[in-house]
Amino acid sequence: MTKGKQIARLTPATCEQIQAQMLEACHKIAEDHGLVIEAAGWHNVDIGFSFEPVFRVSIPAPDGGALSLEKDMFMLLAERYGLSSGDFGREFTAGGERFRVSGIDPRRPRYPISAERIPDRKGFKFTAENVVMFITQSKHKA
């Protein structure tokens, strides 16, 4: 094994880079078993010294991609909450921070919309009304 550049501190950019390399290394194992693998984010950056990469391994969807229960659930329920199925993964700004829509949980009636803060991928819950408003504002700014 060759040694790469030694990393002294983990930044979001280095976490992304390391996770991409780990994902590439895992593709062969997934293929050998007829599965697909995809990055599902990373979290818990511990003051620049550790992070937890997240991968999703699943049976292939009809299109060859990975099945995503969160996305499927979102697509089924989005209209009920005033959103469109295309809003899954959409980015918006709230309180000066960037977020990405990552799901719907109908068991949380007050805060059913899940989103991750873009820089560190920390999960947050929002009201559907606020997310609709933030997405609408983002569309008008673009």
Please check the confidence at residue 3 and state whether its pLDDT lies above 70.
no
CB distance 58 to 23 below 8 Å: no
Residue indicated by tokens 């799901």? 103
Average pLDDT in the 35-53 region? 79
pLDDT tens by residue, 83-134: 999 999 999 999 999 999 999 999 999 999 999 998 878 899 999 999 999 9
Amino acid at 59: I
Torsion sign (Cα): 93, 99, 103, 105 = negative
CB distance 48 to 11 below 8 Å: yes
